[in-house]
């Protein structure tokens, strides 16, 4: 076994405002930062855009970078000062903002997108099952004593044998499919990149976007944040949904034509929208989403939070070990992948 201590590493991060305290300590918590230090020759200072020039001369031997949300975007001149750099291990999701320049220099870039996908998929699993029961509409009815009765309050179709539509079969969509497998549900999937063979292997039915909204009792959107997909989920689709159906969005708010969604929800109080993302975020004051009773907002809660973020650090530490040992990598990103990634 190769002695990992010989690899020189550093933490790179600019910090992010939504995490209290140091973001590296937040993600590489429970001893994970110390674990990296024990495995490698770790540079003692976290490098950011502000202090890079101050430390650059001492970073010439750095072979691997560990990071998370807040990874600095490295300019060509910056990368010239890191001649030994061979890999970046990013304990978060999308690398699209910074990876291209690295990949063009043949630097390996790995991401914990699958670890973040676990958290989102688990969140959606709970919402899908509750939506099938009609839980969200039912709790609205139960706010008044007149409707808080078994024979009056809304009841959903139940979980057994219902149709669930998943829009986007990326890492989150596929993980959700796995989590739904023990339940007796028929799963419809919309994804142009999913082949019929893959659909058969996943035990799902590939359908059009129109079929998904028309047939499913619960529609869960996992569309990536791509310009070509903005506002693709429009009023015509929402108006075609079955009576009492639920729309879940943990993808991106920009993919929804929100004014048209609002118009449909006003016209059809039987529908429910569970929105973990909106456009913009946070939802601005005066938005109809605050007023409509058949909308439930959450503050981008589905992704990794709290203790869940440590799973992303664990994923990258294990990927580093595989890289160092010359084993096949599981979460490396390629230039081709960037075109389809959020």
* pLDDT in the model for residue 160: 96
**Separation CA 46–CA 115 (nearest Å):** 23
- Is 142 or 225 the better-scoring residue by pLDDT? 142
Contact between 11 and 37 under an 8 Å Cβ cutoff? The reply is no
**Separation CA 121–CA 302 (nearest Å):** 8
Closest residue by Cα to residue 48 from 67, 64, 32, 62: 67
Contact between 318 and 39 under an 8 Å Cβ cutoff? The reply is no
Asked if residue 19 has pLDDT above 60, the reply is: no
Tokens 């209290």 label which residue?
Answer: 20
Supply the DSSP symbol for 94: -
pLDDT class for 81, splitting at 50, 70, 90?
very high
**Separation CA 117–CA 121 (nearest Å):** 6
Model pTM score = 0.86
* pLDDT in the model for residue 342: 60
* pLDDT in the model for residue 341: 67
**Separation CA 133–CA 210 (nearest Å):** 24
The full set of domains in the chain, from first to last, is 4-115+305-338 (3.40.50.720), 116-297 (3.40.50.720)
* pLDDT in the model for residue 226: 85
Work out the percent of the chain whose per-residue pLDDT is above 90.
Answer: 89
Asked if residue 18 has pLDDT above 60, the reply is: no
* pLDDT in the model for residue 94: 87
User: Helix, strand, or coil here: 12?
Assistant: strand
C-alpha angle with apex 207: 131 to 226, nearest 5 degrees? 80
Asked if residue 25 has pLDDT above 70, the reply is: yes
Read off the tokens for 102.
């690295």
For residue 158, give Cα distances in angstroms to 4, 38, 175, 183, 238. Answer: 52, 51, 22, 11, 21
* pLDDT in the model for residue 257: 98
């Amino acid at each position: 076994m190769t002695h990992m201590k010989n690899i020189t590493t550093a933490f790179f991060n600019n910090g992010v405002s939504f995490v209290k305290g140091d973001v590296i300590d937040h993600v590489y918590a429970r001893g994970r930062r110390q674990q990296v230090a024990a495995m490698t020759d770790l540079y003692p200072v976290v490098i950011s855009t502000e202090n890079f020039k101050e430390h650059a001369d001492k970073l010439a031997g750095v072979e691997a970078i560990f990071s998370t949300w807040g990874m600095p975007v490295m300019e060509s001149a910056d990368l010239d000062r890191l001649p030994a750099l061979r890999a970046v291990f990013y304990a978060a999701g999308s690398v699209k903002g910074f990876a291209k320049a690295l990949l063009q220099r043949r630097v390996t870039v790995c991401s914990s997108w699958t670890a973040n996908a676990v958290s989102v998929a688990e969140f959606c699993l709970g919402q899908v099952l509750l939506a099938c029961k009609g839980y969200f509409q039912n709790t609205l009815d139960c706010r008044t004593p007149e409707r808080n009765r078994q024979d009056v309050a809304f009841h959903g179709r139940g979980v057994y044998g219902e149709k669930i539509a998943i829009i986007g079969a990326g890492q989150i969509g596929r993980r959700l499919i796995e989590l739904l497998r023990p339940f007796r549900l028929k799963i419809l999937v919309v994804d142009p990149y999913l082949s019929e063979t893959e659909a058969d292997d996943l035990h799902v039915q590939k359908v059009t976007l129109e079929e998904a909204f028309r047939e499913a009792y619960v529609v869960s959107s996992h569309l990536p944040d791509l310009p070509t997909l903005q506002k693709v989920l429009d009023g015509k689709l929402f108006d075609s949904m079955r009576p009492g159906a639920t729309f879940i969005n943990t993808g991106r708010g920009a993919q929804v034509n929100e004014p048209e969604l609002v118009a449909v929800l006003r016209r059809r109080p039987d529908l429910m929208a569970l929105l973990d993302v909106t456009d913009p975020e946070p939802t601005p004051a005066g938005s109809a989403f605050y007023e409509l009773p058949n909308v439930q907002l959450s503050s981008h809660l589905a992704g990794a939070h709290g203790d869940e973020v440590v799973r992303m650090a664990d994923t990258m530490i294990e990927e580093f070990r595989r890289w160092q040992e010359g084993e096949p990598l599981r979460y490396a990103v390629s230039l081709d992948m960037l075109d389809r990634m959020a």
